[in-house]
Amino acid sequence: MFKKVLIANRGEIAVRVIRACKEWGIGTVAVHSDVDSESMHVRLADESVCIGSHQPQNSYLNISSLMSAVDLTGAEAIHPGYGFLSENAKFADVVTKHGIKFIGPNSKIIEKMGDKIEAKKIAKKYGLPVIKGSEGGVKTISEAKTICKEIGYPVLIKAAGGGGGKGMKIVEEEKFLENLFSLAKTEAKKYFGNDELYIEKYFKNPRHIEVQVMSGKNRTVHLGERDCSVQRRHQKLIEETPSPVLSISQREKLLEKTVKMVEQIGYEGAGTVEFIYENGEFFFLEMNTRVQVEHPVTEVQTGIDIVKEQLWIAFSGDTALKQSDINPRGHSIECRINAENPALNFQPSPGTISVCHQPSGFRTRVDGSIFQGCKITPFYDSLIAKVICKGRNRTEAIQRTLRSLDEFVVEGITTTIDLHKKILNHKKFIDSTFDTNWLEKEKFY
């Protein structure tokens, strides 16, 4: 196994990776910006290196600084976590060319699957149903008008190299197309350095369902699906597994087709294939070539440590898992806790945490990087913790999650804990009669 791994990330995912490394007996290197020097991931790692100032482009997105940290510490491998450079093909390529192992798929796969248009073509080629829309990038408004007439309104404009809802616009009628097309192009350029757009049919009442895969040179296995339909502006808030709306036959068909596609592209590592689900039909959305924020809900459900398996695949080339090893039981729910104020349009809530009491108890897990006295800065993503609970069934999982959220005390900043309680207590959540647009329609905030 690797002797030393550098974690090219921060916050709760850096803590998560450090824990997995320690269980393998691997030495860990944390990197940090100037404002993160007292963070939990820095405290837990065996070594730490300051790689720049608080602006991400000067630190966590700075490839030169990260590679200097590798040279300085003698790390053999880099785990990118999620976000930042985790799906940056150039970074993966630079790491590999330096003789360092990138813990994830190779740069060519990242590039192919990271481009939404290319990924859609690959999915279609290997038998996954795709959403009706443009076959390639849409450069002009006249081109956009033609495509929109062909597929019918409403449509969704998306950034080819994007994610997280940036560069994404819903167009209900043609009269709004020109303005929203221009806005999407500007956003795509700003956030991803690439203003290429594509257009596809917009689903009004969809569920968002994704499949977790682990793949080595020897085989590909799935770890079941997650339902990520509780969202705000295309950002996931609550994830659960299994999906409460799928029949056994629908689930089996989805998982089988997904594994087949992932095997055929020669994928290695942990990956997630995402789908839109509406009226009993699935449509390929995208593939994330990294560990997901919501991976713990699958770990709790299956008993498989996804991050430790990532490390093993990166080291050996093969997955140690067989499909028969994976026996999910019961029901699991994950809530993402953010340092935000829902009453003020989810405005970030930086500050110092004066009181911090995290929940525990039977089948309750908290992944986070917070502690009493830690500073939440305004410079990065506002996710501070994830509460993951498992029950014998969905009802018990909901009850256990609510009990855990009641125990979670964070003072000094505002969080989304109370919002999660409100969602979990709502009849539509309990009955699972919601879709990805539910929170906006219900006016929860």
As given in the structure block, the two tokens for residue 112 are 């192919």
- Nearest in space to 11 (alpha carbons), one of 81, 73, 63: 81
The CA distance from 130 to 445, in Å, is: 33
Higher pLDDT, 164 or 170: 170
SS3 289: coil
- Core vs surface per residue 174-197: b (16+ CB within 10 A) or e: eeebeebbeebbebbeeebeebbb
pLDDT computed for residue 164 by the predictor: 65
- Nearest in space to 387 (alpha carbons), one of 345, 334, 331: 334
pLDDT computed for residue 160 by the predictor: 84
The residues annotated with a catalytic role in the active site are 290
pLDDT computed for residue 34 by the predictor: 98
The answer on pLDDT for 101 being more than 80 is yes
Kind plus residue range of the DSSP H or E element containing 276? strand 269-278
As given in the structure block, the two tokens for residue 53 are 């100032």
The mean pLDDT of the chain is 96
The CA distance from 301 to 254, in Å, is: 18
Average pLDDT of 232-256? 96
In tens, the pLDDT along 60-97 reads: 999 999 999 999 999 999 999 999 999 999 999 999 99
pLDDT computed for residue 47 by the predictor: 98
Domains and CATH numbers, the chain: 4-103 (3.40.50.20), 132-201 (3.30.1490.20), 207-442 (3.30.470.20)
The answer on pLDDT for 131 being more than 80 is yes
Highest mean pLDDT among 137-141, 150-154, 342-346, 352-356: 352-356
- Nearest in space to 77 (alpha carbons), one of 320, 310, 319: 310
In tens, the pLDDT along 16-34 reads: 999 999 999 999 999 999 9
The answer on pLDDT for 443 being more than 80 is no
Enter the DSSP assignment of 129. Answer: -
Yes or no: say if 219 and 262 are a contact pair by the CB < 8 Å rule.
no
In tens, the pLDDT along 279-295 reads: 999 999 999 999 999 99
The answer on pLDDT for 163 being more than 90 is no
Give strand ranges (E) for 8-146: 27-33, 47-52, 77-79, 101-102
Calculate the alpha carbon distances from 407 to 127, 239, 360, 387 in Å.
Answer: 46, 20, 8, 11
Residue 55 burial (CB count, 10 A): 13
In tens, the pLDDT along 219-231 reads: 999 999 999 999 9
The answer on pLDDT for 136 being more than 70 is yes
- Nearest in space to 385 (alpha carbons), one of 40, 30, 28: 40
SS3 367: strand
